[in-house]
Every structure is written in C-alpha cells, then in structure tokens.
Amino acid sequence: MNDFLESIKSRDPAAKSVLSIVLTYPGVKAVFFHKFAHLFHVAGFDLIARIIAQTIRFFTGIEIHPGAKIGKNLFIDHGMGVVIGETSEIGDNVTIYHAVTLGGSSPSIDSERQRHEKRHPTIGNDVVIGSGAQIIGPVNVGNGARIAANAVVVKDVPENATMVGIPAKAVKLENKGNFRPYGVDDKVKDEQ
C-alpha cells in the first residue's frame, strides 16, 4: 500500500503528504474499494460487488465496474466522472485524469451476445490518459502511450504514441518529455 501511495506522490505535485492522499484523494478510495468489489465479483457474488461499486461511486464520482482488472499503482487524479467498464484491463503505473471513459461499443445492440465478449479497452503499463478522453471498444493502448485531453480513441494505439483529436491520431511532440495531459500545445506535428 505504501508503494501505491508513494507512486501517487511522485506523480502529483499537489500531493503534500501520504496522509493527505489517503484522506482526500477520491481516486485512492475508488481503487482501494474496487479491490473488494473485484474479489466479490470473481467469487460470483455479483450483486454485493455492484453494491460496493455503486456506493463508492456515490462518494467519489468514480465508477469502476467490479469486473475490471486493474494493475498496480493506478492513479486516478481528481477522478470526477471517470468510468471504467466491465471488461477493461489496466496495466501498472497508469495515470487517468477526470472525465475519462474506458467504454464499450454498441452496448444496446445484442446485449446477450456481448455479455460474453471483450468490449472495453486494454491499457498498457505507464500510460497517461488526459482529462475527458474517451477510449471506446476492445482497443489496445500500448505501453507508455499518452492520450491527450478530449481525444476519442477507437483504434489500437502503438507503444509510446501520443494521441490527439476526434478520432484520435498519433502526433509527434517537439519536446517528447513534456506531455500535457490537459491538452497539447501548438508544437505538434501530424504523423499521418
């Protein structure tokens, strides 16, 4: 647990202490309680799992389906409006900002068949997903990728790519180490 909290402190300049992270960060609470909901989900107690998930959603504004698989050190910064769907898989050391959706495609079409399919994204390790981004369907986001604010991703993302726009496309950053999760400045070049 301490590694998790220290990983957040290292990624957030607003984090003044581990105690403040534990007491005031909604993403920490959502991830912590997701672990319990996921255990109940895996054990086949879906109703209990969903009640836990909905309760924590009420308190944090973050909705994580109990079936989602989450790696270590997920940091949901701010968190309000984050939705992580049932078949989502998230790697290690991922940062997600507010209003992000890891959603399924066509949920109202042939729901019975879709219950048994992978419908949500798979996010690699060390990915940053900017505020308002939508990653829709069973796409793969490669390790180290960056998804800019309000980007809509509907196709697989290569490792270390920076994606912007609707629909999202890869761009080159002049200063690759200076990714801005709230938006990308005018110093980008279209790779396509």
- What amino acid positions are annotated as catalytic residues? 98
CA dist 151 and 166 (Å) reads 6
Provide the token pair at 106.
Answer: 């066509």
- 145 phi and psi angles, rounded to 5 deg: -70, 155
Q: Looking at residue 49, what DSSP letter applies?
A: H
Distance of CA 31 to the CA centre of its chain: 11
List the one residue out of 24, 10, 98 whose CA is nearest residue 61: 98
| Dihedral sign computed on CA atoms, order 152, 155, 161, 167 | negative
